[in-house]
Amino acid sequence: MRFAMTVALLGAALITSGQTLWAPKGKPAVYTPPHKPHTRLKDLKAAHAGQQAWRHVVVDDNLLRSEYIQARPGTAVRRAMHPDTRVWWVVMEGEVRFDIESVGSFTAARGSMVQCPMQTFFSWEVVGDKPALLFETNIAGAKTLYESDVAPPKLPGFDWIPVRFNNREIGRFLHGNKPHRTFDEVAADIDAGKLRGTIRIVQDDRGTANFIYGSRPANPPDDPKKGHYHPESAEYWLIMRGQIRYPIEKVGVVIAEEGDVVYVPPFTWHAPHWWSDKSCRLAMNGYPYISHLFDGAPGTH
């Protein structure tokens, strides 16, 4: 019996709360380009007005890289793969037909969350008569491999050479990851009580995306507490629906709307709150189980 209990304990995480520790608190709110506390989608669209196709990098830190991609109808990305990283997309506008090796093809529209694991070929094409807008995320420094019949793009500082990829592992979604989930289906399951809390959409050893959904409380806080900070990773959020309110240390209060991105560097207090009914933020950072450190000074709880 004792052996069985020991095995059970080793196989499950033990969660504790309330322990006070000393933690480093570096300089907060240090922003380096392209990062901003609040990137408004409407500002990006204004900056690229008149362009049917454009790209705009929003996050490019030591852990993750995210960019907005607008593509005209008929735009196609030929089959490619990432040898060691997982890539994921959120479709904000238009329709995109994805083809993922081991999965097949499917059409993704507004609110679709799509991912492809490492060593797995993918391609996508904008379908319909309207441009598509995607938010693409990958691990920092990710490389791309192309099939031999595709002319690869110029890559400063690198040459392209033919290689063989032995023992390639295809379609390793793992950790409950799914190739395609939609906002509507996840939100409906939460509303129906089938899912609770933070919903993991993407989990990888070096990156994660969490679906956080809810509604503004009847009496929202006027002056919320500091919230928490992360000592080793920035965190950022793509607003998928509604409005989210963020008090951010040294920045002030940000109210972000659908399509906006809010970025908080390490060591920076923040306390997000739902600010409209049925609002959602897709939270992304470089660790699947990132530490949340709350103020432990006397009288703060």
14 inside domain = no
Q: How confident is the model at residue 172 (pLDDT cuts 50, 70, 90)?
A: very high
Cα separation, 296 vs 294, whole angstroms: 6
pLDDT at 11 over 70: no
Stated pTM of the model = 0.93
Contact assessment for residue 114 and residue 87, using Cβ atoms and an 8 Å cutoff:
no
Q: What is the pLDDT of residues 197-251, one digit of tens each?
A: 999 999 999 999 999 999 998 777 666 568 999 999 999 999 999 999 999 999 9
The residue out of 101, 131, 146 marking a domain boundary is: 146
Residues 142 and 185 in one domain: no
Q: What average pLDDT score do residues 165-173 get?
A: 94
pLDDT at 19 over 60: yes
Q: How confident is the prediction for the chain on average, in pLDDT?
A: 92
25 inside domain = no
264 inside domain = yes
Q: What is the pLDDT of residues 84-104, one digit of tens each?
A: 999 999 999 999 999 999 999
1 inside domain = no
SS3 1: coil
Q: How many domains does the chain have?
A: 2
What percent of the chain lies above the pLDDT cut of 90?
84
Residues 53 and 115 in one domain: yes
158 inside domain = no
Lowest mean pLDDT among 25-29, 152-156, 254-258: 152-156
Cα separation, 118 vs 249, whole angstroms: 36
124 inside domain = yes
pLDDT at 7 over 60: no
In the prediction, which pLDDT does 75 show? Answer: 97
- Domain residues for the domain of 278 are 181-294
Tokens for 217, please give them.
Answer: 């409380």
Residues 71 and 121 in one domain: yes
Q: Which CATH number does the domain housing residue 278 bear?
A: 2.60.120.10
Cα separation, 266 vs 35, whole angstroms: 13
Q: What is the pLDDT of residues 38-78, one digit of tens each?
A: 999 999 999 999 999 999 999 999 999 999 999 999 999 99
227 inside domain = yes
